[in-house]
Amino acid sequence: MDTSGLQPTLLRQFDTAWALTRYHLTGLTTDECLWQPASRGLHVVLHDDGMWRAQWPEHEGYTLGPPSIAWITWHIGFWWSMVLEHSFGDATLTKHDVLWPGTADATSEWITGLATRWREAVASMPDEALLAHTHTRWPHTDRPFADVVAWANTELTKNAAELGYVRFLYGVRG
């Protein structure tokens, strides 16, 4: 196995971020997901049609408050669904199309499925394809696809850290 080059480096970075995410998804409960760590913060809302929809922030300032685990996991599913669909699909998916699954188990399965699809897609791309713009449609344009992969790895790492932090808060709630 060749460990040099862009693709193996990006995959190793992904594997590290994914291991951290999996760690924080393991044993996650729906109660943890739906717990709100503060009186304000982004969450998911169960609508009359039985669908869980995420609140969308009007800004990204600190006064927004901390998100719930349900929102964080929705956010992972949102950006991963978007980047997969826009990079390898028909690019019609919008934030309104991405719903939170409603339980911790279903959410973990959803995110694991996205991770599998993502890793397989990146693993199938030689460095030349990663350096091309062919698949770069969201969240960036006019950049090498490797930039999208690096962004996704960073986003996953950030979201994993957020998951862990809120799980720590949940673990010591009053």
- Dump pLDDT digits (tens) for 78-110: 999 999 999 999 999 999 999 999 999 999 999
- Tokens 């009186």 appear where? 39
Per-residue confidence band for 2, with pLDDT thresholds at 50, 70 and 90: low
pTM, full prediction: 0.96
Residue 104 counted as domain residue: yes
Residue 84 counted as domain residue: yes
Count: domains in the chain: 1
Residue 31 counted as domain residue: yes
- Domain of 142, in residue numbers: 8-35+66-171
Query: Could you read off the pLDDT of 103-159 as tens digits, one per residue?
Result: 999 999 999 999 999 999 999 999 999 999 999 999 999 999 999 999 999 999 999
Residue 2 counted as domain residue: no
State the pairing for strand pair 52-54/44-46.
antiparallel
Residue 92 counted as domain residue: yes
Q: Which helix (H) or strand (E) holds 46?
A: strand 44-46
Beta bridge partners of 100: 52
CA distance 121 to 69: 27
- Calculate helix-pair angle for 6-25, 145-171, nearest 10 degrees: 20
Residue 51 counted as domain residue: no
Residue 147 counted as domain residue: yes
Query: Could you read off the pLDDT of 58-85 as tens digits, one per residue?
Result: 999 999 999 999 999 999 999 999 999 9
Residue 149 counted as domain residue: yes
State the DSSP code for 95.
G
CATH number of the domain that 101 lies in?
A: 1.20.120
